[in-house]
Each structure stands twice: as C-alpha cells, then as structure tokens.
A and B are shown apart, each in its own frame.
Chain A
Amino acid sequence: MMSVAIERLGTARKALTGAVDGAASSMLRKRTTALPSMGIAAAIVLLGIVFSLTTDSFLRTDNLLEVARQSSLLGLMSIGVTFVLISGEIDLSVGSVYALAGVIAAIVTASTGSAFIGVLAGVGVGVAAGGVNALLAAYLGLPSFIVTLGTLQIMRGLALSITNGIPKSLFDSHASGISTLFFVGRGDVLGIPFQFVVLIGIAAIATVVLRLSTFGLRIYAAGGSKEAAALAGAKVARLQLSTYLISGTLAALAGVIALGFLGSGSPLAAQGIEFDVFAAAVLGGASLFGGLGTAQGAVLGALFLGVLRNGLLLLNVSSFTQTMIIGAITIAAVGLNRLALGRTSAV
C-alpha cells in the first residue's frame, strides 16, 4: 500500500509539474513575445526620425552601419545580463570581465604567438568569472548584487595590477591568427560590420533558447518564483549557474572582439559601462525583479542607446548636456515600454 501511495504521489507530482509547465509556458510565451521590444523599437524609430530631420548625416548608410557596430559589444553584454536578470539575479561584473578578458587575451597572444590561444584564454576569463559569481550567489546564497559588485572590483583590480595600468598593445603583433582576430573586430560581411553579424547570430541563438527550450522557460520560471520553479522540478541553482556562465562568456567575448577592433587590451576598457548594459536590458523589457526579458529586446535596447549617443554627437550637443539628455530619454523610453506592456499583459 505504501508503494502504491508513493507511486500515485509521483504521478500526481508529474501531472502538477506538467500543468505548471504548461501554464508557465503559455504565460511566459506572452512575456517573451515581441511586445516589450515593440515599445523600444518604436522609440528607436522616433529618435531616428528626429535625428534625420535635425542632422544631414544621421540617415546615411555608413553612419547607420557605424551605429550598428558601436552598439554590438554593448548588445552582447546586454544579452548576457538579460539571462541573469530573467533568472532573478543580477550581474554587475560584466564591464570588468570585458576589460580583464581583453587584457588577458592580449598578453597570452603576445606570449604564445597565437591569437587563437589568446582568444581562448580571454573567453576562459568570462567562464571563470561566471562560475565564481554563480558559486557565491547561486550556491552559497549570497546576495548577487554584492557578489558581483565585489567581483567587479576584483577583476578590474586584477586587470590594472597585471598591466600596471598600461594597455597591452598588439599593433605590431605577428602572432598566428592575428589577422583573423582583427577581422572579427574590424572586418565586414557585404559591408555589414562583422561585430554586428556576431551580435545578430548570438541574439538569434539566445532567442531560440529562451523562447523554445525547456531550459529557457525554466529560467523565466525561476525568475518568477524560485520556490515554484523548484517545486516544479527545476534545479534553480544550476539554472542560475548557466545564466552566469552565459553572462560572463558573452562579456568576455565582447572584450576579445574589442581587442580585435582596437588592437590593444586596456585595463580601463568598459569602465562605467554597467549603466549602459542594464539600461539596454531594461529598455528591452527585462525586469530587475526577474521573470521578464528577451534577447531581441536587449539588442534593441543597445541600439537605442547607440542611436541616441550618435544623434546627440551629430547635433554637437555638449558632453555635459548629453549626459542629462541620455538619462532623461532612457527613463522616458522605459516608461513607454512599461506602458505598452501593461496595456495588454494578463499577468
């Protein structure tokens, strides 16, 4: 009788899990639709119209391609951070990961004579950073805000210590594979900056993972409620480990691509970029409280900031005024997004 009872309990649990998954899937599909992205897309179009009318160089093809390139690395980092935000956590360390990865990649490239090994080392920094963040935040339960604030400092400090504050240059490098690295950073495919091609490719993969995989849906579930997700059978800590690994890896990839673009790894790279990364993610529909966000939204958020900065510079707006305008328009855009989400969401 006991074994029958246990068997029935197991069946009921499976049914409950299925029901929760099904309901979550339906609910979450609404959250992962293009709706949050439509708001920010509309904001981009609006900005584009304004800048097209007020400058004579905004709408030029080469300028638009430049904006796409300028937004690419921010977009990569924002996609990674979006994964973490969806799962209900936060990752403030991405800028420092970017810098340390670039510096390590430059140093290893120079010392081994191989850009391939350098790139692997750089990306490895991101994986390691993600692992450390996850260990402390997801497994030991320390607040992720504090953990990643700490690792932000540690990694930035490490980048500065290793280099003594001086950028590591690959200007004269003859390392094998260096031209490939430079192509990834500076090249183009049919005129489209290769960085942007990488961004779109990764955004596409991230979108499929978030929308169509069980893994993606469970990340949303964990962000919505860790307890409910755990009851439904999700291994929350492991999910969060995955999101931190994704975030760290994408930030490191961005740092390595920046190395290819600029030809040197700087310990000051991406200093203060945290505002932009989180602004892009939130503009794209991610919630700082978890359970919301999309990869395409993160890309659009990065493009929004890129268009805004580009337009203000084309208008010769002073640096001081730019800072105020960027802050104000970012708030307005988030408000617009929330308005669009709030009208149609049943959740």
Chain B
Amino acid sequence: MSSSNSQRLGRVGPRVLVALFAVAVGLGLAACGSSSSGGGSSNESVSLPWGKFTLNDQTAQKIQNGDKPTIKLVSINTSAPFWGPMRDGVAAAGKQYNVDASFTGPPDYSIEQQVAQIDELTTQGVDGLAIAVGDADTLTPAIDRVTAAGIPVFTVNVDAPESHRFAYVGQDNRRSGTIAGKEFLKEFYKNNKKGGGPYKVILTATDVAGQYARDRFDGFKEVVDKTGDFEYTDPTTTGPDPAKVYSTVEDLFRANSDAKGLYMADETIVQGGTYIQRNGLSDSVVAVGHNFAPGTAELMKSGAIDASVGQLPYKQGHDVIQYLAQFLKDGKLPACKPICDVGQEVADQDNVDQFDFGSTG
C-alpha cells in the first residue's frame, strides 16, 4: 500500500468509525427507549403477573404513526340505567386523552352476546378493551383470547380476577355489599334490639345469578352474619321491569310478613322503597340498596329507603379509558393495579341532599 493510500485511509477511517459509532449509539438509545415504555410505542413485551404481554403489530404501528387508537368498553347490558353515567365518563375520557373511545355491549343481560361481541371486536382489531364482566368464569377465557391477540384488557365494574386482564377499575362488589351491610346494621339497631333476632331480611336482585349480585350478597352477609341476629329469604330475581319488581317485592312481603329488612343488590331498591312507602312500612322495615336511580332521593327523604351505595359509574368509565389510553400511548400501567378501586358513595337519610340522584350513579 502506498503511503498516500495509507494516509487517506487514516484520515477517512476514524471519521467513518465515529459516524458508525454515533449511528450505533443512536439506534441503541432508540431501542432502549421503546423497551422501557412497555407496550406503548412499540410491540415490546411487558411483564404482568400472569406472563408477558406483547402489543399487536397493527396497534403498535398505529401508535407510532400518531393515529388515534380505538378503545371500546363492553358492558353487560347497555339498557340498564346504571350505564348512562359510565357512558358519559367514557366519552369524556376519550376527548381528554385523544382516543376513539366508545361504549357498547348487549342491550340485555346476555353472557353469550357479550362474549360474541368481544370476539368480534378482537377480530376487527380494536386497540384496547374495557370489559364489564357478566360472569367471571365465562368471560375469563374470552379475556385471555383478547390479550393473546396482543390487545390490552382492563376489567371495569365487575372483575374477572383469574383472567389476563391488566387491572380492574371499579368498586369491589363484595366490599360494596359489606358497606351496604354496615349501613343496614347502623339503621336497623336504631329501633331494634341487638340479640332480639332472628330478624328476617328479604334479598333480591335484578338477576341473582349475576356476578355483581352474588358478590354483593356475600359481602352483605359477611357483615350481617357476625351479629347472629338475622336470617334471609332465598335471593329472588326480580328482572328489570319495574312493575314486576314491585309485584315481586309485594308478594315477598306477603310471604314474609315478619320481614324487618330488605336488601336489593341494585337500583331496583326504588321499586322496593315505593312498596314500603305505600304500605306504611317505613318505620318497621330497613331498606338498603345500590346506585342512585331517579326516585331514590325522594324515597330516602320520606324514610322508605334507608341507604344506598353508589358506584361512581362516571369515574369508572372515565378512569378505565384513561388507563388504557396511557398504556397504549406511553406504556404506563396505573400505579393502583391490579385493583383500582374508585371508592364508593353512601347516601342515607342524613346526607341525601349532597348527591345527584338523576344520574343513577
């Protein structure tokens, strides 16, 4: 090699080496950046208690392109009044976090339809799913199919704890039942003697087989059973039709004329309270329920309903979309995981004016 060639190589070589080194460092930093953000801007894996989750290519590409991800909240039965505020929360979070967020689900309580919709959305390539679980056992495999397809899932309002969901956003329904139980006992022993039982409590729900109802009944009984003062009727399904709810409560009180308590595991407490009011039972029966359906306030003020445990459905809808959006865009998982308890509100005859009862929250 001539000395001029070796000199030329000597001058070019280091610059090339520096340039190559700079490119390598840049690429390395970029790679590190994306892996530390989890599934957000690339499809690196993120570790969860049940294993590794890898965001699907389509969504990862969408995020990298700066396109709006699509997030759906699949409810259990869209026709129930409870979902109105949650729908509003979803819409608000969608705007706030710049995602295409919407609310869907079967109009009537149907696990099969809910599973079918979830599978359909998975095939269509939705970017994130929030699922209000109709039944934990049936929905768990469906949720696992979604995450296996690289789509993140959060559960909302009702959980499927054994599934591959990222986190649960909502109220712990069992805890909600224990709160209802505590409110019940607080009111009951104002006018009834401790140890004077067994006092009979009528139990109902729109659908006693629903996960939410089973959890709430368990929570309620967990607290109330400690007193040893109570016995229960078999939980009775009322269905959603208000006239039928009223008739069912009417017949249950006829069959159990010695009943001193009524626990209705959802907003059908309005019809229960209406029966109590019309039949002059406000002073002799303690009635506790859930949610803040229209009519609850009036019945509470009249003394027919003693307490109702609200679920903050707006917050549930808002927060679950927020968490999904943050995961998709930034790879962040909420600090509250795996259970993001939105808390609860308890309305009773003392504080009833503080609450917005038109929203069924």
Contact = CB atoms under 8 A, between A and B. Distances in A.
A268 B294 contact: no
B106 interface: no
Interface string B46-79: 0000000000000000000000000000000011
A166 B294 contact: yes
Interface stretch (A11-19, A134-142, A311-319, A339-347): A311-319
Interface in B234-276: 234-237, 239-243, 246-248, 250-252, 254-257, 270-271, 274
Given A262-B246, A264-B294, A271 B108 contact: yes
A65 to B, nearest CB: 11
Contact of B255 (A156, A157, A258, A313): A313
Interface in B289-317: 293-295, 298
A341 to B, nearest CB: 30
B84 A166 contact: yes
A167 interface: yes
A57 B108 CA distance: 35
B234 to A, nearest CB: 5
A269 B243 contact: yes
Interface in A253-285: 258, 261-264, 266-273
Contacts of B343: none
Given A171-B298, A314-B255, A316-B255, A261 B243 contact: yes
Contacts of B248: 313
B115 to A, nearest CB: 21
A270 B243 contact: yes
A70 interface: yes
B360 A268 contact: no
A338 interface: no
B141 interface: no
Interface residues of A, number: 40
A319 B235 contact: yes
A168 B294 contact: yes
B295 A267 contact: no
A186 B81 CA distance: 25
Contacts of B257: 57
A164 B108 CA distance: 15
Contact of A318 (B234, B239, B359): B234
Contacts, number: 113
Given A166-B358, A169-B294, A314 B251 contact: yes
Interface string A305-325: 000011001111011100000
B352 to A, nearest CB: 14
B2 to A, nearest CB: 86
Contact of B79 (A160, A309, A315, A318): A160
Contact of A55 (B81, B247, B255, B294): B255
A258 B78 contact: no
Nearest to A315: B255
Contacts of B78: 160, 165
A111 to B, nearest CB: 16
Contacts of A164: 84, 87
A73 B244 CA distance: 11
A70 B358 CA distance: 28
8 contacts: A157-B107, A262-B242, A262-B243, A262-B271, A267-B79, A271-B79, A318-B234, A320-B209
A316 B258 CA distance: 14
Contact of A266 (B234, B236, B242, B358): B242
Q: Which of B234, B243, B274 has the most CB of A within 10 A?
A: B243
A166 B79 contact: no
B6 interface: no
Contacts of A167: 81, 242, 293-295
Contacts of B274: 262-263
Interface in A139-173: 156-157, 160, 164-169, 171-172
A271 B81 contact: no
A240 B324 CA distance: 54
Contact of B239 (A171, A272, A315): A272
Given A186-B278, A313-B236, 19 more contacts: A55-B255, A70-B250, A73-B243, A160-B107, A165-B78, A165-B79, A165-B83, A166-B294, A171-B295, A261-B246, A262-B246, A264-B242, A268-B242, A270-B241, A313-B252, A316-B234, A316-B255, A319-B234, A319-B235
B208 interface: yes
Interface in B337-361: 358-360
Contact of B236 (A55, A66, A319): A319
Interface string A55-75: 101000001001000100100
B191 to A, nearest CB: 25
A310 B80 contact: no
B274 to A, nearest CB: 7
B36 interface: no
Nearest to B206: A268
Q: Which of A57, A167, A258, A268 has the most CB of B within 10 A?
A: A268
Contacts of B240: 268, 271
B233 interface: yes
Contacts of A270: 241, 243
A344 B49 CA distance: 73
Nearest to A316: B255
A326 to B, nearest CB: 12
